[in-house]
């Protein structure tokens, strides 16, 4: 609960986007494997109802690689964008 609350707030503000997004991506991958890996269709998220966890995992992974962009507070305080 705390990871989503604090991590989501930091992502919205654009602070520490890369490390926070990487942690949240790992959390979503863990959630997918814990909640949906026991299903018969392991690799098909649409059939084992894990599409939202898989989607958020890849979105957060993209943010971890791409960063927050020019509008993020990281860019304004002199961090990478």
In a domain, 50, yes or no: yes
Please check whether residue 46 lies inside any domain of the structure. Answer: yes
- For 16-74, the pLDDT digits (tens) are 999 999 999 999 999 998 888 776 677 788 888 889 999 999 999 999 999 998 889 98
**Rounded Cα distance, 57 and 30, in Å:** 9
Instruction: Give the Cα-Cα-Cα angle 6, 25, 63 (nearest 5 degrees).
Output: 85
Burial of 40 (0-12, 13-18, 19+ CB in 10 A): exposed
Range of the domain at 28: 2-76
Is the residue at 51 inside a domain?
yes
Query: For residue 39, is it within any domain?
Result: yes
Q: Is the pTM of this model over 0.85?
A: yes
Q: Within a domain: residue 81?
A: no
Q: Cα-Cα-Cα-Cα dihedral of 30, 35, 39, 43, to 10°?
A: -30
* 39/79 Cα distance (integer angstroms): 42
Q: Is 34 part of a structural domain of the chain?
A: yes
Asked if residue 67 belongs to a domain, the reply is yes
Does any domain span residue 24?
Answer: yes
DSSP single-letter state for residue 15: S
Number of domains in the chain: 1
């Amino acid at each position: 609960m705390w990871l989503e609350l604090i991590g989501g707030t930091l992502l919205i503000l654009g602070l520490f986007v890369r490390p926070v997004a990487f942690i949240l991506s790992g959390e979503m991958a863990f959630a997918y494997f814990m909640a949906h890996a026991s299903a018969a269709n392991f690799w098909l998220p649409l059939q084992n109802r894990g599409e939202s966890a898989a989607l958020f995992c890849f979105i957060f992974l993209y943010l971890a690689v791409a960063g927050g962009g020019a509008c993020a507070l990281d860019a304004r305080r002199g961090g990478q964008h």
